[in-house]
Amino acid sequence: MGYFLTLVALVVALGVTWRYLGSYMAAVFDGRVHFLGFVERPIYRLLSTRPDQEQTWKRYGGAVIVFSAVSLAFTYAILRLQGSLPLNPQHLGAVGSALGFNTSASFVTNTNWQNYGGETTMSYFSQMGALTVQQFVTPAVGICAAIVLVRGFSRKNFATVGNFWVDLTRCLFYILLPMAFIAGIIFVGEGAVMTLAGTATIHDVLNGAVQVIARGPIAFMEAIKQVGTNGGGFLNANSATPFENPSGLTNFLSMYLLLAIPFALTYTFGKMVKSVRHGAALLAAMALLFGVWVGFTSFAEHQNNPAVAAAGIHSTVGNTVGKEVRFGDTTTALFGVASTSTSTGSANGAYDSFTPIGGLGLLTGMMIGEVTPGGTGSGLYTLLVYAIIAVFIGGLMIGRTPEYLGKKIQAREVKLAGLAALVMPITVLVLTAVAVSLAAGRAGPLNAGPHGFTEILYGLTSQGNNNGSAFGGLTGNTPFYNVIGGIDMLLGRFAIMIPCIALGGALAEKPVVAESLGTFRTDNAMFIGLVVGVILIIGGLTFFPAISLGPIVEQLSHLRFF
């Protein structure tokens, strides 16, 4: 019952957010929100730029690359130098070079894959000055890239797509910082830890044991962790620990926050292209797939774990292995799907202990490209890539040069969309193949056989999709996995984002074709169905062989599918 109430509350809250946050974000990027002008202006002066100084897609994309490269270097430097930097009450030493590369790539790509335990590796300064900073700026970069693509549709005969520095500043000050601030207060209020006082040492008088309890500035990191679909928690146990996720309210709030912006951006899209119906169509495609995945995974987790059942133990409350009793089977499944479908990757349970089919739900939520609703910004731009492919095929089928919102989809657009759609499956499959072929890679998984294969596949799928959720079971902090994962994350982020920015530039240059009765409708149920079909078919066709050797064969070993 609690599960269904949670679902209803989530739908209502997200519905309201969709409408109002979406509209507000459109206003921010249209330059109609100014209340922090006194903060904006000095920043622009410092960067010697002006809001009316727009960039072509090449300059915009170049700025994204430069900014991200500097972020990568800056984060890496802090991690390597943390021993000599302040706010290090535990006197933690430098992060190793391979782990430092993996972690900085992870946070610069909005992945937050963590090959480390936060409380035993990172100083407060590293957590706040390096990681949390990236947790703010990377979702902003993602949103900027999405806005470029949206502007591609809303502008006609335009050479420029906006100013990256201005978009970035506005996104941070008008959207992410306020949302994270309010959410942070609630987390603190609910009891999430927020302190710079170092670890607490507790002497248990009864049994004489001494415990060292990790603490830190957790609550505010927690807020942006969810708002920015980052997922990298302060503590190793992530949202499963009460210090990060103290109550039912914060658990609900976490799910709400990580879904809020990705869903609301579809309204922003609709608003900016002057057709909320078009935004609603994208929302429907996202929500439909999200709903199916929630239902599928929750149902799977509500069953007995086949391995446990085989041992003669039957549970009446679903698969509870590896789950917090505070949250239960289905709500953990809901959290898991929300987190893996949004490129967040935070966790309030052990995904490794999900039933094979439940784990498949999480895995495939990422394999379909993180579009349901996906990461902040990245979800929208990746979905638009699939929408463009759907428009192209559907448009041909009605006998017209395909067009989406009046923009003709021609060779250049198909090339860029195809490139963006190719990158993720190829990267993930090839790197998984490398991992299973080399001794260093084979040493990673805890289990043998199909489950071990799933552990490797999950790890590289999670990083390639910039999700960052860990299936567990994979020993990732080895030079091999640190490097291969770093490459996976960087390709999965920028090899998709840059073609999308280029796509925005290509579309903005185009004139707008007038709409008529003969136009392929891109705001109705048929279109939603086509987009969903394209997402499922591309994801399914590329990953079906791999998953049939992992979770499917594992589940079939128990002779039945559910």
Give the contact letters, 64-103, x = binds to another protein (CB under 8 A), - = no: ----------------------------------------
Locate tokens 């951006």: which residue?
265
CA distances from 345 to 115, 176, 354, 480 (A): 13, 18, 15, 22
Q: At 44, which amino acid appears?
A: Y
Question: Judged by CB under 8 A, which stretch of 112-120, 355-363, 419-427, 498-506 contacts another protein?
Answer: 419-427
Rank residues 188 and 436 by Cβ distance to another protein and give the closer one. 436
Rank residues 118 and 395 by Cβ distance to another protein and give the closer one. 395
Q: Does the footprint of another protein cover residue 449 (CB under 8 A)?
A: yes
Q: Does the footprint of another protein cover residue 157 (CB under 8 A)?
A: no
Shortest reach from residue 414's CB to another protein, in Å: 4
210 Cβ contact partners less than 8 Å away, ≥ 6 residues apart: 201, 202, 203, 204
Shortest reach from residue 163's CB to another protein, in Å: 28
DSSP 8-class letter at 83: G
Q: Does the footprint of another protein cover residue 549 (CB under 8 A)?
A: yes
Q: How many residues bind another protein (CB under 8 A)?
A: 66
Q: Does the footprint of another protein cover residue 310 (CB under 8 A)?
A: no
Q: Cα(67)–Cα(72) distance, rounded to whole angstroms?
A: 9
Shortest reach from residue 177's CB to another protein, in Å: 39
Greatest CA span in the chain, whole angstroms?
80
Helix (H) or strand (E) holding 105: helix 97-108
3-state secondary structure string across 173-209:
HHHHHHHHHHHHHHHHHHCCCECCCCCEEEECCCCCC
Helix residue ranges, H only, 123-174: 124-125, 133-154, 164-170
Q: Cα(226)–Cα(413) distance, rounded to whole angstroms?
A: 33
Answer whether 294's CB lies under 8 Å from 334's CB: yes
Rank residues 59 and 408 by Cβ distance to another protein and give the closer one. 408
Among 270, 286, 280, smallest CA distance to 373 is for 286
The phi and psi torsions of 176 (rounded to 5 degrees) equal -75, -50
Among 419, 440, 483, 495, binds another protein (CB under 8 A): 419
Exposure string of 511-535, with b = 16+ CB inside 10 Å and e = fewer, is: eeeeeeeeebebbeeebbebbbbbb
Among 324, 370, 413, 455, binds another protein (CB under 8 A): 413
Give the contact letters, 473-512, x = binds to another protein (CB under 8 A), - = no: --------------------------------------xx
Question: Judged by CB under 8 A, which stretch of 199-207, 358-366, 486-494, 525-533 contacts another protein?
Answer: 525-533
Q: Does the footprint of another protein cover residue 357 (CB under 8 A)?
A: no
Question: Judged by CB under 8 A, which stretch of 119-127, 315-323, 473-481, 538-546 contacts another protein?
Answer: 538-546
CA angle 101, 102, 106 (to 5 degrees): 115
The β-bridge relationship of strands 160-162 and 200-203 is unpaired
Rank residues 232 and 450 by Cβ distance to another protein and give the closer one. 450
Shortest reach from residue 249's CB to another protein, in Å: 44
Shortest reach from residue 485's CB to another protein, in Å: 17
Paired with 474 in beta bridges are: 445
Rank residues 211 and 475 by Cβ distance to another protein and give the closer one. 475
Helices and strands (H and E) in the chain: how many? 22, 6
Rank residues 117 and 449 by Cβ distance to another protein and give the closer one. 449
Exposure string of 361-378, with b = 16+ CB inside 10 Å and e = fewer, is: bbbbbbbbbbbbbbbbbb
DSSP 8-class letter at 517: T
Shortest reach from residue 425's CB to another protein, in Å: 6
- If phi > 0 it is left, if psi is from -120 to 50 it is alpha, else beta; for residue 292 that is alpha
Among 356, 369, 425, 539, binds another protein (CB under 8 A): 425
Among 81, 249, 487, 513, binds another protein (CB under 8 A): 513
Rank residues 352 and 413 by Cβ distance to another protein and give the closer one. 413
Shortest reach from residue 507's CB to another protein, in Å: 14
**Residue ranges in 382-401 that form contacts with another protein under rule CB under 8 A:** 389, 392-401
CA distances from 344 to 24, 399, 503 (A): 23, 40, 25
Among 113, 164, 453, 481, binds another protein (CB under 8 A): 453
Rank residues 199 and 557 by Cβ distance to another protein and give the closer one. 557
Shortest reach from residue 39's CB to another protein, in Å: 41
Q: Does the footprint of another protein cover residue 322 (CB under 8 A)?
A: no
Structure tokens at 552: 């499917």
Among 71, 111, 304, 432, binds another protein (CB under 8 A): 432
Interaction site with another protein (CB under 8 A): 389, 392-402, 406, 409-411, 413-415, 418-419, 421-422, 425-426, 429-430, 432-434, 436-437, 442, 449-450, 453, 511-514, 516-521, 524, 526, 529-530, 533, 537, 540-542, 544-546, 548-549, 552-553, 556-557, 559, 561
